Amino acid sequence: MQAAFGAVLALLLAAAAYAADATAYLWPVHGVPPKITGVMCEKREDHPHAGVDISLFGRVGVVPIVSVADGALLRLRTSHVGYGNALYVRMAGGKVAVYAHLDHFSPRFEKLAAEIRARTGLQRIDYYAEDWEEPIPIRRGETIAFGGRSGTTTPHLHFELRQDDKVNLNPLTNGFPVKDTVAPTIAAVLFVPIDPDATVDGRAAAKTLRFGRSAAATVRVKGRVGLAVDASDKHAPAGPVLTPYRLEAIVDGRPFFATTYERFSWTDKRLSLVQFDLEPRTRRRFLRLYNPYPVEIPFFSGADAGTFDRLAPGLHKVEVVAADAAGLSRRVAFTIVVDKTAAPEKRPWPRGAGDAALFNSQTVEIAQGRFALEGGENSFFEPLRLSIRPAEPIAGAVGECYAVADPGSPVRQPFGVRFRYAADEPAPGKLAVMRVGPSGAQFLGAAIDGASRSVRGESLEFGVFCLVRDEQPPTVENWRRLPDGRVSFTVADDLTGVDADAVQVWQGDERRVVDFEPHTGQATAVLDRGGGEAVVVARDRAGNVGRWRAPVEAP
How far is 337 from 312, CA to CA, in rounded Å? Answer: 10
Please check whether residues 194 and 320 belong to one and the same domain. Answer: yes
Which of 146, 173, 200 terminates a domain? The answer is 173
350 preceded by cis ω (within 30°)? yes
Please check whether residues 224 and 128 belong to one and the same domain. Answer: no
**Could you tell me whether strands 329-338 and 219-222 are parallel, antiparallel, or unpaired per DSSP bridges?**
parallel
DSSP string, 324-359: -TTS-EEEEEEEEEEPP-S-TT---PSEE-SSEEE-
Report yes or no on 345 lying in a domain: no
DSSP state of 269: G
Query: What pLDDT was estimated at residue 483?
Result: 84
Please check whether residues 329 and 356 belong to one and the same domain. Answer: no
Query: What pLDDT was estimated at residue 539?
Result: 97
Identify the three-state secondary structure at position 549: strand
Which of 173, 193, 215 terminates a domain? The answer is 173
Give the number of domains in the chain. 4
Query: What pLDDT was estimated at residue 15?
Result: 33
List Cα–Cα distances, 439 to 370, 435, 442, 446, in angstroms. 26, 10, 8, 21
Q: What CATH number has the domain bearing residue 425? A: 2.60.220.30
Please check whether residues 226 and 310 belong to one and the same domain. Answer: yes
For the segment 245-278, what is each residue's pLDDT rounded down to a tens digit?
A: 999 999 999 999 999 999 999 999 999 999 999 9
Report yes or no on 440 lying in a domain: yes
Report yes or no on 4 lying in a domain: no
Query: What pLDDT was estimated at residue 275?
Result: 96
- The answer to whether residues 134 and 126 touch, using CB atoms and an 8 Å cutoff, is no
Query: What pLDDT was estimated at residue 512?
Result: 93
Q: One-letter amino acid identity for 278?
A: L
Q: What CATH number has the domain bearing residue 139? A: 2.70.70.10
Report yes or no on 179 lying in a domain: no
How far is 242 from 36, CA to CA, in rounded Å? Answer: 9
Query: What pLDDT was estimated at residue 40?
Result: 95
Report yes or no on 6 lying in a domain: no
Please check whether residues 392 and 378 belong to one and the same domain. Answer: yes
Please check whether residues 35 and 167 belong to one and the same domain. Answer: yes
- In the sheet where 545-551 sits, what is the strand order? 510-512, 503-507, 533-539, 545-551
Query: Which runs of consecutive H residues, i.e. helices, occur in 395-445?
Result: none
Please check whether residues 280 and 360 belong to one and the same domain. Answer: no
Report yes or no on 178 lying in a domain: no
Please check whether residues 190 and 156 belong to one and the same domain. Answer: no
Low-confidence ranges of the chain (pLDDT < 70): 1-23, 213-216, 344-345, 529-531, 554-555
Half-sphere exposure of 23 (CA within 13 A, CB side): 7
Report yes or no on 7 lying in a domain: no
Please check whether residues 161 and 193 belong to one and the same domain. Answer: no
DSSP state of 2: H
Q: Report the candidate in 543, 397, 370, 545 with the shortest Cα–Cα distance to residue 469.
A: 397
For the segment 452-467, what is each residue's pLDDT rounded down to a tens digit?
A: 999 999 999 999 999 9
Which structural domain, as residue segments, surrounds residue 270? 185-338
How far is 261 from 229, CA to CA, in rounded Å? Answer: 14
Please check whether residues 314 and 359 belong to one and the same domain. Answer: no
**Could you tell me whether strands 64-66 and 167-169 are parallel, antiparallel, or unpaired per DSSP bridges?**
unpaired
Which of 442, 469, 496 terminates a domain? The answer is 469
How far is 27 from 55, CA to CA, in rounded Å? Answer: 12
Query: What pLDDT was estimated at residue 543?
Result: 94
Query: What pLDDT was estimated at residue 440?
Result: 84
Please check whether residues 322 and 384 belong to one and the same domain. Answer: no
Q: What's the pTM value of the predicted model, to 2 decimals? A: 0.91
Query: What pLDDT was estimated at residue 49?
Result: 94
Report yes or no on 274 lying in a domain: yes
Query: What pLDDT was estimated at residue 18?
Result: 33
Please check whether residues 125 and 229 belong to one and the same domain. Answer: no
Q: Report the candidate in 480, 472, 464, 467 with the shortest Cα–Cα distance to residue 523.
A: 480
Q: What CATH number has the domain bearing residue 533? A: 2.60.40.10
